Amino acid sequence: GRWPELMGQDSLDCGFDPCDSRMMHFGDEEGEPNVLFNPGRLRMPGWAFVEIAKIRQEILQLRRKEGQVDLRRHTGLKARLNRQLTVQNVPFLSVDEESPLQYFAPIPCRIRDLVPLSFYLSHDTFALP
């Protein structure tokens, strides 16, 4: 269909926080509620954003049905989890001479590396195709 074709061509900037699934939240280590934590941004192919959601849904259904997920019995799911892709950290505001540019290099990974992270769409939804 049209949607998978468009999503396969575009990349999305997704907010994530590997330690806290609340995404944007207030309060720092000292408990100051006026400090807004902004999670990182990860640029990924649009198809990967959708695929991660579909895989999570399938894992939840399998766990509900079977109690656990045995990838030896679900070779199709295992293959989907092992699919390779490239993602990239994206600066939240701007890059200047003080920015550690090595943190923004493309990162090869697999879908399975991204499934545990909590993502949300982090750019202007009017920019979607």
Strand partners, 85: 109
Q: Cα(116)–Cα(109) distance, rounded to whole angstroms?
A: 13
Q: How far apart are alpha carbons 15 and 49 in whole angstroms?
A: 11
Name which residue leads in pLDDT, 108 or 32: 108
| Per-residue pLDDT reduced to its tens digit, 65-103 | 999 999 999 999 999 999 999 998 887 666 677 777 777
- Give 99 or 122, the one with higher predicted confidence: 99
